[in-house]
Amino acid sequence: MAAKPEDIMGDGSILKTIIKAGTGEEKPAWGNKVKVHYVGTLTSNGEKFDSSRDRNSPFDFQVGSGVITGWSEAVPTMLLGEIAKFTISSEKAYGPGGSPPKIPPNASLDFEIELLSFTDREDVLQDGTLMKKQLGKPDEDSWVTPNANCDVEFKLTIAGGDEHAVSWPAGTGCPHGLPPRLREGLFEMRKGETCSFLLPKDAPGVDYEVTLVSWVENEECVSGDDGAVVKRIERDKTIGKDDWKCPHDLDTVHMRGKVWVDGDEAKCVDYGEIPPNTDGSQDASVYVVDEDLTTSTGSAVCPGIDAVVKKLRVGEISTAIIRKDYGFKEGPLAGQPLRCRLELVKIDPQTPNWEIKTTELKIEAVNAKRCLGNAWVARNDIPRAIRRYGAAIEIGDSDYDIVDEDEKRRLREAVSACKLNRAMCHLKVKNYQDCLKDCSDVLDIDSTSVKALFRQGKCYLALDKWDAAKESFRKVLELDDGNMEARRGLQSVRVKMQAQKEKEKKLYAGKKLFDGKDRPAPKKAPASACCDASAPDGSCCPPPPPEAAAPPPAEQ
């Protein structure tokens, strides 16, 4: 005799019939995460409209969220492993609208559900190895969470034992023998929050109760070079309308603090004592970011200090570690890994580009930064020179507010001079694509620019684009017949093409490609791999002079 359905809600909206009894005493609660298998059919005719078993894929959901009301009320009546049939009325299923095309309007539905598992914990890593349960809410004003770059402070109780404070710095081993996965759980917590963590694979049956106290983020200061310069905040920025601003290249900054050799604080460079409070009246060192090599007090500045300063906000105090290749090149701290502690007191920003309105002011600003770039070329600091030329070009490229065509032409000429110099720098450091872009921009303005054509040819030659290189060098000679550098370029093209020809000859030596009459007639070799016609004496290009000419200097 079939079991009588149970009216679990007392109003006939959900009828339950147990097919297979479950085990234990615990049942899912509101908010629990459950995993089930199910088969759904129409009560009216038994037609199946959905089945997780057919897909061989259990269905996961949170009780009370993302499913029909009937499910959130039915599943909490089940024990683990139980299989039951639920008849759910239309108002607790899909109602008057139904779910076309399979479920008609006002349809009562039957679900055969098997409860596979349930938990009141969040599966943090989605693989069952780290299960989290919130025990205490976070602070009201806490919305952010720590990340892998943070040094984290928390209180810990293991398996109901005594509570103790734990510090877990980024990039270090596990303190107190804690499972490594537990750190992943900290990244899901907010300040003041208390959670229980279970790690079934790493520590079966052990309950870790954690209260997150605080954290400090270790910030990479050099993009694309992890570990070069890493800072951590000791005291956060001053709250104000510009508290989000950091210094940029060529801004003037006021800072205090010092930098010293890692492990030997006696070897240091002093920028002024940091006061115990936020007093801004005490003397600070002043310098221009990424430009000055010393401060107003005569203290030396290295690239690592620049990198840290550009990540500071006014009022912030931070410490940092600086790899030796971002340290000093000369002096008592030269070639040493460093540490520093700095406070940013004030920023005097340079004039924003959008505030430079007139053509004359734009040209003046472009030329001023070009001169800075030229000075860094003379010091053989090519990356810094590229940054200065780039800053000049950004000013000149904003010509949308200039109407007069003659004024636009003058500004573009000033920008072209910067791009020519930057192309030279890109060529020096083998940034060939960037060099080609700058040369192309210059040639769009002046197709007769000998320097742009020559540098373009040098790039093509380095990239083994010999036909393009030959064309660029030839155009140079059409404009300047006595340009010996271009003739050497053509000679280099000929040598490279001949070397490639010899390589291919050896590669295919002895291979029989054609037989008998199918063999093509040999073609007469051109007079030169470099030129279309040879000179009367049979030579391709005039031989290079005994000594190479000096490379062209930076534009002035």
Quick check: is 68 catalytic? yes
Q: What is the DSSP string of 366-407?
A: HHHHHHHHHHHHHTT-HHHHHHHHHHHHHHHH--TT---HHH
d(CA 83, CA 263) in angstroms, rounded, equals 67
Decide if 111 is catalytic. yes
Q: Which of 8, 18, 59, 68 is catalytic?
A: 68
Helix (H) or strand (E) holding 437: helix 432-445
Residue 15 backbone dihedrals phi, psi, to 5 degrees = -110, 135
134: tokens are 């919130």
Catalytic position from the list 88, 103, 111, 389:
111
Query: Does residue 38 have an active-site annotation?
Result: yes
Element housing 246 (H / E): none
The answer to whether 147 and 108 are in contact (CB under 8 A) is: no
Residue for token pair 């080609």: 436
- Whether the CB-CB separation of 170 and 114 falls below 8 Å is answered with no
Beta carbons within 8 Å of 226's beta carbon, 6+ residues apart:
220
Return the structure tokens found at 162.
């005594």
DSSP type of residue 65: B
User: In degrees rounded to 5, what are phi and psi of residue 118?
Assistant: -155, 155
Helix (H, G, I), strand (E, B) or coil at 325: helix
Residue 217 to residue 535: CA distance in whole angstroms: 70
The catalytic residue among 14, 86, 94, 441 is: 94
Confirm if 104 and 93 have CB atoms less than 8 A apart: no
Q: Are 262 and 339 in contact (CB under 8 A)?
A: yes
Does 94 qualify as catalytic in the annotation? yes
Could you give the count of Cα atoms lying within 13 Å of 260 in the half-sphere of its Cβ?
12
Q: Who's near 94: CB < 8 A, 6+ residues apart?
A: 68, 103, 107, 109
Q: What is the DSSP string of 25-78?
A: S----TT-EEEEEEEEEETTT--EEEEHHHHT--EEEETTBSS-HHHHHHGGGP
Active site residue: 18, 49, 262, 480, which one? 49
- Using CA atoms, how far residue 156 sits from 110, 211, 261, in Å, is 48, 7, 36
Active site residue 50: yes
Active site members: 38, 49-50, 68, 94, 111
